[in-house]
Structure 1
Amino acid sequence: MGSRRKARILAFQAIYSWEFHKPLLAELLQFDWLEEERKAKLDTETWLFARLLVQGTIENCDTIDHRIQNRLEHWDFSRLSKVDLAILRLSTYELLFQQDVPASVAIDEAVDLAKDFGGDDSYRFINGVLDSIRKEREPS
């Protein structure tokens, strides 16, 4: 597993946790919930990218949530599962603010996270919402 994939998993877990506890960003970026043995195995690139994703997502959460809300058809934002919401926030951050990450990569990574952590149809739902945001960002 590549370091960026590991970073996205860490970022997803942190953003998911943030939804419940709303710790200070500095506390969240410490990843204190992670076992020391697992922390020791992660390289610097993984840590830096995970922190960038978490910080960027949290700092831009209002903008990100607005974009997600605008793309939900026949679905209320408050009814989103917390797992799906964390994946959507993380991936929307990448789509909107990480210009060095191709949109297809951000969406593919989100779909993989949804398959690993979400419900049975989460990946389809997340793919549809993110593809809509991508199209808004990159008009044809």
Structure 2
Amino acid sequence: MSRRLARETALQVLFQRDLTKEPFIIAEEIQRWAKEFVVPEPSKDFAQELVEGTIAHQEQIDQTIASFAQDWTINRMAKVDRNVMRLATYEILFRSDIPGRVSLNEAIELAKRFGGEESAKFVNGILDRIVESAVKAEQKGADVSSKATSNP
């Protein structure tokens, strides 16, 4: 399974959703984008988990990103950057099977590939603080997701 291809597929679906604001069936959109990227079946399943999880927790994810993005609102961010960070923040806060630093590094690669010239630095700056907060919360035994949303 290629998790990178799955993340690329998930990003495309999240970006499309953010751009069009139209409802769609996630599984159908995963299939459509996976066909374009030639994504193997196990990676499609992972992409679907990522999209569904990100959408299900989007309000909390956006609050977390906003709390760590000094002088930036979610709506002011480039759509690619915003969705790369949503995807990575979902992984960091809600996927204990994926180390935070892995999610951070994958997000930087996605930002380099799909974002603008400064996207990787921007994404890294915010996500690094989210990962640090999550690690501290985990060390203290706190609920990582609630800890991250309460930390500026």
- State the TM-score, normalizing by the size of structure 1: 0.89
Does residue 18 (structure 1) correspond to residue 30 (structure 2)? The answer is: no
Corresponding position of 2:5: 6
Q: What runs of 5+ residues in structure 1 fail to find an aligned partner?
A: none
Percentage identity across aligned positions? Answer: 35
Tell me which amino acid in the other structure corresponds to 1:130.
Answer: L
SS of 2:116's equivalent?
A: coil
Q: Is the 8 A contact 2:34 2:44 kept in 1?
A: no
* Partner Cα separation in structure 2 for residue 101 and residue 35 of structure 1: 22
Does residue 131 (structure 1) correspond to residue 120 (structure 2)? The answer is: no
Q: What displacement does 1:67 show?
A: 0.1
Corresponding position of 2:66: 69
- Structure 1 residues 37-92: Cα deviation after superposition (integer angstroms, max 9, x where no partner): x47x4322101100000000001000000000000112232210001011010000
SS of 2:96's equivalent?
A: coil
Q: 1:97 is matched with which residue: 70, 77, 94?
A: 94
Q: What runs of 5+ residues in structure 2 fail to find an aligned partner?
A: 140-152
Corresponding position of 1:84: 81
Q: Is the 8 A contact 2:6 2:39 kept in 1?
A: no
* Partner Cα separation in structure 2 for residue 35 and residue 69 of structure 1: 30
- Aligned pair count? 136
Higher RCO (C-alpha 8 Å, min separation 6):
1
What is the CA RMSD across the aligned residues, in angstroms? 1.8
